[in-house]
Chain A
Amino acid sequence: MRREAALSAAVIAVIFTAPGRLPAVAQGAAAPSAGVAPIAPALLAVKVVEENGVPGVPQALTEKPGDPQAGAKVAVDRRLGNCLGCHQISALGNEQFHGEVGPSLDGAATRWTVPQLRMIVVDPKKIFSDETVMPSFYRVGGPGRVRPEFQGKPILTAQQVEDLVAFLAAQK
């Protein structure tokens, strides 16, 4: 757990993909640890831009545009986004068991811009508050006692984030 503690702040992991290069994080690159360069070369901070006082991530995390259908799978899959764990989404009406912890995501794209949706998926604490129950899906570091197989990895890959953002952007 000292590994996380060694990070002065939560590192927001982003891979600026060279064409054809797999995201290093998704392949399981080790978390930065004390005594080693704090940020591995493939991990760079996401560029957060505030617009009208609301933070957003305007730049896509991958060159390949997000695929809303793949994003729907990310929203459903319990091992990936599991958005249905907490939210209701009418577009996924064929799926059983929609959670009630967060608001319905119907019309999400009418309430948030695409950069804001991307910010919410990457690190919702930046938009809501540190108190939000919602996990940060594209961040490493910060939380303690991460199970060894998940250490240094964000919940979603860059492509999965983009696919999910594309799906959310279609919820009008």
Chain B
Amino acid sequence: MWCGGAIAQDALEHPDWQGKGFAPNVPDHPLREIISGLAFRTHETKAMQSDDFNNPGFLAVEEGAALWSKVDGAAGKSCASCHQEAVQSMKGVRASMPKWDEKQKKPVNLEQRINICRSENMKAEPWKFGSPELTAMTTYVGHQSRGTPVSVRTDGPMKPWFDRGRQLFYDRVGQLDMSCANCHEKNYGKFLRADFVSQGQTNGFPTYRLQTQRLVPLHERFQGCMFDVRADPYKPLSDEFLALELYIAWRGLGLPVETPAVRN
């Protein structure tokens, strides 16, 4: 490490991320080691995530649990009417999202799956992306997969979506002319000014961000990154972000779901 004497860099903790990952078990994976974003955070952040009583993301887990059994819509049903106990019925669901939906003829992610269920089965209004309800339910359902390794399918009808996602990951965009890969593949484990760059893995979403003091869904995070490189972000739940979500999930195959993770 460079020594700058007076520079306050020394005060910044360099998280001990090396050796905290594992080798991908698929051929032609772009990463030598797959590492959760948790390894790139400070001791304080790690401690906050690992203690369910201190993890602020659990407020959303509780909100989601309340919504789970709340009747809504013309069919007079709640989630629990069909799916009973989420602890059993939702276990592992989030780990394999996005997943192909034969009826929609496209992959859907967890937010979309929840809303499809609301409109088709509950005859209720779909929740808006970014609404506290949708994020809380996504967090609650996601949390039932905590510890389950990410295992998305990328073959068959998912293949073109996977390929599109990969292209988007490497596309340079915005006035700063940067791709996801520029930071999250080539430069993770380094400070970008005051930010310690991770691999951009998605296993913790929705994620409680200390910066914004609330749970942030994955597509909002995508938008934030694009905005920062002065690019015009794609819309949440757009085909582009769906493809990107699928591709980045594949980059993290085998990572345990951490929902709700805590990040900076």
Contacts and interface: CB of A to CB of B under 8 A. Distances in A.
A146 B178 CA distance: 11
Interface residues of B, number: 32
Contact of B230 (A93, A95, A96, A147): A147
Contacts of B171: 144
Interface string B176-187: 111000110011
A93 B9 CA distance: 9
Given A96-B194, A100-B190, A133-B187, A145 B4 contact: no
B53 interface: no
A97 interface: yes
A121 B245 CA distance: 34
A153 B174 CA distance: 11
B2 A143 contact: no
Nearest to A82: B193
Nearest to A103: B2
Contacts of A142: 177
Contacts, number: 96
Given A88-B4, A133-B182, A99 B175 contact: no
A133 to B, nearest CB: 4
Interface string A50-92: 0000000000000000000000000000100010111010100
Contacts of A98: 4, 7, 9, 191, 193
A148 interface: yes
A150 B173 CA distance: 12
Contacts of A104: 2
B174 A145 contact: yes
Contacts of A160: none
Contact of A97 (B8, B186, B232): B8
B231 A146 contact: yes
A145 B232 contact: yes
B232 A146 contact: yes
A143 B170 CA distance: 12
Contacts of B4: 88, 90, 93, 98
A135 interface: yes
Contact of A78 (B12, B193, B232): B193
Contact of B5 (A86, A90, A145, A146): A90
Interface of A: 78, 82, 84-86, 88, 90, 93-101, 104, 133, 135-136, 142-148, 150, 153, 155
